Amino acid sequence: MTPITRFLGDGDHAFALPFDAVLELERKTGAAFGVLFDRVFRRLFAMTDLTETVRLALIGGGASPKDAYELTRTYVAGRPIKESYPLVLEILSAVYFGDEPDAATDEAANG
């Protein structure tokens, strides 16, 4: 997946979920990617779905595991869900749709 750059907490960061990160995300959330995507898209997610998506995507984008953990703990787990939900949806949409995440994010926001 091509990394996307978005603002999180203290600045712009790269986010990407390469294949190995998707497998780890499935392991951490206990759900197949399609199930996880559907849960997030329909707003039926668990907090782990959000935090692990961001953490693993930060690592996939080049952050160290320690930095990814700290950013996620501070700016995702410690903040209102509405702040991180669009980012999580965009990260997962980039995996699902490829280089067209904006269309999926717009569809979810309006649906």
- What pLDDT, in 10s, does the model give residues 67-89? 999 999 999 998 999 999 999 99
Give the whole-angstrom CA distance, residue 30 versus residue 84. 21
Q: Is residue 5 part of a domain?
A: no
Q: Is residue 4 part of a domain?
A: no
Q: Is residue 3 part of a domain?
A: no
The pLDDT score that the predictor gives to residue 78 is 86
Q: Is residue 95 part of a domain?
A: yes
- The answer to whether 92 touches 40, Cβ cutoff 8 Å, is yes
Q: Is residue 94 part of a domain?
A: yes
Q: Is residue 1 part of a domain?
A: no
- The answer to whether 21 touches 54, Cβ cutoff 8 Å, is no
Please list, in sequence order, all residues whose beta carbon lies within 8 angstroms of the beta carbon of residue 105, skipping any fewer than 6 positions away: 86, 89, 90, 93
**Per-residue confidence band for 107, with pLDDT thresholds at 50, 70 and 90:** low
Give the whole-angstrom CA distance, residue 13 versus residue 90. 14
Residue 104: pLDDT above 70? Answer: no
Residue-number span of the structural domain to which 99 is assigned = 14-106
- Count how many domains the chain has: 1
Q: Is residue 27 part of a domain?
A: yes
Any idea which residue has 């595991």 for tokens? 65
- pLDDT tens string 17-73: 999 999 999 999 999 999 999 999 999 999 999 999 999 999 999 999 999 999 999
Q: Is residue 7 part of a domain?
A: no
Q: What is the pTM of this model?
A: 0.87
